[in-house]
A and B are shown apart, each in its own frame.
Chain A
Amino acid sequence: MTTRREFLVLTAALAVPAAAEAQVDPDLAANRRAAFQAALRKVVGDAKVQHGKVKLLLPPLIDNGNSVPLSVSVESPMTEADHVKAIHVLTEKNPLPDVVSVALGPRAGRASLATRVRLADTQTVTAIAQMSDGSLWSDSTEVVVTLSACLEEGLI
């Protein structure tokens, strides 16, 4: 008869290789980071990004990553001389780092954007605003995702 102790030892032995198999491609995290850096470079180039002016709103705890309300607003008078030219939203751990890029001008009245996005994992989401004078401002929000979008892709 199997004792409780033997059973525990046996299941522990089984669980270890299973956990190891569940590990995905070790390069995945590095690839995602590289993709994020490439996307960031495409948006900002070599310019310096300053923190502030931008406000990125996301729920801190997300039950379903398939549809997450996201809103971005940027402090700006939105005049011909001083306005927001573009807003970009990037994610760290989605399969593709780009989420949305918006082009706007003084005719928009307010520099704002509201949409719904997909998030694949618990991660940091970044919004970057490009002003008419060329300066770049950003805001980042950390979110916890319990049910990931793109579950079909396996572990992310």
Chain B
Amino acid sequence: MARAVVTLPAQAKRGEIVEIKTLAQHPMETGFRRTQTGELIPRDIIRRFTCTYNGVEVYRADLHPAIAANPLIAFTTIATETGTLTFQWVGDNGYTVTEIAPIRVE
């Protein structure tokens, strides 16, 4: 059900800045919309996105209802050592998605 896609280069030179693009599947319901019968649709959004590189946090974003559905977050990090990047999205109603991507640094 809940899915996420992460794109980053599989290998990089030491010290190189790598671009990372992440996309999570989520409606990001704002909590301001109403159904046809006038009932308010409860808010259901992703609250926080974190990226950790071998256990060290390198990027964190706090999201609000003004982020579009299926949030795209693109950012950069420095390739320091071979290892794994862990991406985590945490949201309302127990939404948690974790993606792991390896990177090889020469």
- Whether B72 and A100, one on each chain, are in contact in the complex, defined by CB atoms closer than 8 angstroms, is no
Contact A117 B76 (CB under 8 A): no
Min Cβ gap A114→B in Å is 4
Of the candidates A96, A112, A115, A153, the one having the most CB atoms from chain B within 10 angstroms of its own CB is A115
Q: Which residue of B lies closest to A113 (CB)?
A: B75
Contact with A along B74-106 (1 / 0, CB 8 A): 111110100000000000000000000000000
Interface residue tally for chain A (C-beta within 8 Å): 32
Bound form: Cα–Cα A120–B54 in Å: 39
A–B complex contacts, Cβ < 8 Å, 21 sampled = A66-B68, A98-B64, A99-B66, A102-B62, A103-B60, A107-B56, A107-B58, A107-B80, A109-B17, A112-B76, A114-B72, A114-B73, A114-B75, A115-B61, A115-B67, A115-B68, A116-B71, A117-B66, A117-B68, A118-B65, A150-B33
